[in-house]
Structure 1
Amino acid sequence: MDIKKINLGNQGLVVPAIGLGCMGMTGFEAGNMYGKADEQEAIATIHRSLELGGNFLDTADLYGPFKNEQLIARAIAGKRKDYIIATKFGWEIDDNEKVTWAINGRKEYLKKAVERSLKHLQTDYIDLYYMHRLDKNTPIEETVEAMADLVKEGKVGYLGLSEVSSETIRRAHAVHPITAVQSEYSLFERTVEARGILQTLKELGIGFVAYSPLGRGFLSGQIRQLEDLPEDDFRRAIPRFQEQYFEKNRELVKAIELLAEQKGVTSSQLALAWIISKGILPIPGTKRRRYVEQNIAATHIQLTREDQNKLEAIIPLGTDTGNPYDAFSMGLLD
């Protein structure tokens, strides 16, 4: 069975109903993200995803830095036209390939960033190019104008933003049509809904891409106790995974698992099907073939309005499940 295709926004970009988040496939300068990297299995996962119709890959220059884009280049070699590639810029990376942890949305930096991404991806165009975080010192209009130049030059197909407010979206969209906005979204994390951002996107005809749709693995049910996370796993720094929230969140996951069991699917598949049923594109990250197969199978699960309501009743909008980031990263959200 093929994955159904959806329009991401109304600018003409057609994508499968689920994407593949590639961040966890490579190591990361800031430490261990999601366990050890295994390049062979990661590439096999990208290929398996394509066989099943999953050709939308999400990466960023930050991941590595550059290692993730380079891995994707190796995986898609000779088959570039079969894939839709989304990458991001904005976290400043200096000329020694070190992340400065500043956000840079200035025109000169953007021009440098896109050339680097094209080189690392070994391609001459990027399908969807996102600004990774808002540069609060540069007017969004200036950044989007520079991004629009890349569309005119044929280096970029469509423009995206990540973790931005309704006001920023409106200002950006007035300069050049925005195709997609990417933010964290899951049964655990519905801030974009609470803040009216999803409503804004609907109104403007902009697509929404949900990263960490499984609550950074929490909704998979694999994390039953804090000890299940390696000592150097970055999730240990996130409030949601810390003691004051952990047990409470585990109880919520158990209730979701019960519903999943009744439908004969996994809790991960149910969580993904819930997002897909809302017309949102989830991009669960995995580096293993068996999980990509399970995730893609979730696109065939039909949820009734009653199913949706039951799920949303477990974690009503506004439930405090703990912040999704540490204090520094929370401060960078728009």
Structure 2
Amino acid sequence: MPLEILGKPIGPIGFGLMGFTWRPNPTPDDQAFATMKRAIDLGATFFNGGEFYGSSIRTLNLDLINRFFTKYPEYADKVVLSIKGGVDLKTLAPDGSPEFVRKSVANCISHLGTAKKLDIFECARVDHRVPIETTIAALGELVKEGRIDGISLSEVKAETIRRAAAVHKISAVEIEYSLWATEARDLGVLSTCAELGIPVIAYSPLGRGFLTGQIRSRKDLEEGDIRLPFERFSEENFPVNLQLVDEITKIAKTKGVKPSQLAIAWIKKHEEVIPGLKIIPIPGATSVEHLEENLAQVEPMTDEEFAAIGAILEKVEIKGGRYFKIAEGHLWG
């Protein structure tokens, strides 16, 4: 069945926009625009960005999106745009109070301008000081007002999804899911979303580039890269975690695909494994070349390949948390 969100068709794979702007040197507009256009032309029409996706100026991502759709207004209605916000732009601490989420939505709309509607808004992390019901009710009022069209959740546990869905329709649940981050399956997030009919947006499906096999050491990352402080990219853990990449690469070569393509095919295979699940990986890319690699049509993963990868995941232990210690405290809200 074709995938739809908010009644709009989207491709089986979406597009994450964070990498354009949350880096020491943001991607030039001409390169970013060419990549965004190509994504839409190839059917990757679920775009995911953030109010705070900028290393120097937090709103760089929103401003880039504004410039793109201002220049190419014919693409605006073809894209479902989901934006993460709900965090203090200085400290990145979550704030789920009604007053703050309203302020965050207003800021997103202000930076997007009239170029593109804010289709879906999601709080990037759950504020443990505020009941999720209170936050969702406030966002529901913004839906009624026509400020946004839908509400998504991010980095949440199964219980939170159920509580939120009891207050308002949830358009999607965004969670990190990949070959080296399978907690969403183990903690029942995927099965809960399948049961409730909520699409899952799998962010960092390529392990922030690690699973592509193109990053072999910390020296391959430029100074100031946001991944350097993450535990899995530490000097101690990096070479250990490469074991997974090497094992996956062997299967990819046998299948005749890139490791990145195998990683995405593995995620999509879950739609067969978990009845009712709809899952949309959102790999990022800053060039047309890498985008086309991620979106290339490859042979679906077989049951045998899925089982072989499962055996690898049982054998290879991933070292280090997905983020650094402070950020880890905001996961699974």
TM-score by length of 1: 0.90
1:249-328 superposed matches below 5 A: 249-279=241-271, 280-298=279-297, 300-316=298-314, 319-328=317-326
Q: What is the root-mean-square deviation of aligned Cα atoms in Å?
A: 1.9
The letter for the 1-side match of 2:281 is P
1:61 aligns to 2:57 (yes or no): no
1:55-204 superposed matches below 5 A: 55-64=45-54, 65-77=58-70, 78-79=73-74, 80-93=76-89, 99-123=90-114, 125-204=117-196
Runs of 4+ in 1 over 4 A off after TM superposition: none
Aligned residues of 2:240 and 2:318 also touching (Cα < 8 A): no
| CA distance, structure 2, for counterparts of residue 14 and residue 316 of structure 1 | 36
Cα deviation per residue 1:238-268 (whole Å; 9 max; x = unaligned)?
A: 1111233222211211111111111111000
* 1:17 corresponding residue in structure 2: 12
Cα deviation per residue 1:276-316 (whole Å; 9 max; x = unaligned)?
A: 22231100111111111111114x43111111111222112
Aligned residues of 2:8 and 2:80 also touching (Cα < 8 A): no
Aligned residues of 1:134 and 1:164 also touching (Cα < 8 A): yes
Q: Pick the aligned partner of 1:223 from 198, 201, 215.
A: 215
Over the matched positions of the two proteins, sequence identity in percent amounts to 39
Cα deviation per residue 1:60-114 (whole Å; 9 max; x = unaligned)?
A: 1011211101101111221221221111111123xxxxx2332111111122211
Aligned residues of 1:187 and 1:312 also touching (Cα < 8 A): no
| CA distance, structure 1, for counterparts of residue 186 and residue 320 of structure 2 | 15
* 2:199 corresponding residue in structure 1: 207
Structure 1 residue 187 displacement after superposition? 0.2
Residue 277 to residue 13, structure 1, CA distance change in 2 (3 Å): farther
1:6 aligns to 2:9 (yes or no): no
* 1:248 corresponding residue in structure 2: 240
The letter for the 2-side match of 1:102 is A
Gap regions ≥5 residues in structure 2: 272-278
Aligned residues of 1:27 and 1:37 also touching (Cα < 8 A): no
Structure 1 residue 234 displacement after superposition? 2.1
The letter for the 1-side match of 2:66 is A
Structure 1 residue 13 displacement after superposition? 5.2
Residue 203 to residue 13, structure 1, CA distance change in 2 (3 Å): farther
Aligned residues of 1:245 and 1:322 also touching (Cα < 8 A): yes
Secondary structure, in 3 states, of the residue corresponding to 1:302? coil
| CA distance, structure 2, for counterparts of residue 287 and residue 267 of structure 1 | 18
Aligned residues of 1:134 and 1:140 also touching (Cα < 8 A): yes
Structure 1 residue 27 displacement after superposition? 4.0
Gap regions ≥5 residues in structure 1: 94-98
Aligned residues of 2:84 and 2:121 also touching (Cα < 8 A): yes
Higher relative contact order (CA 8 A, sep 6+): 1
Secondary structure, in 3 states, of the residue corresponding to 1:126? coil
* 1:96 corresponding residue in structure 2: none
Aligned residues of 1:85 and 1:126 also touching (Cα < 8 A): yes
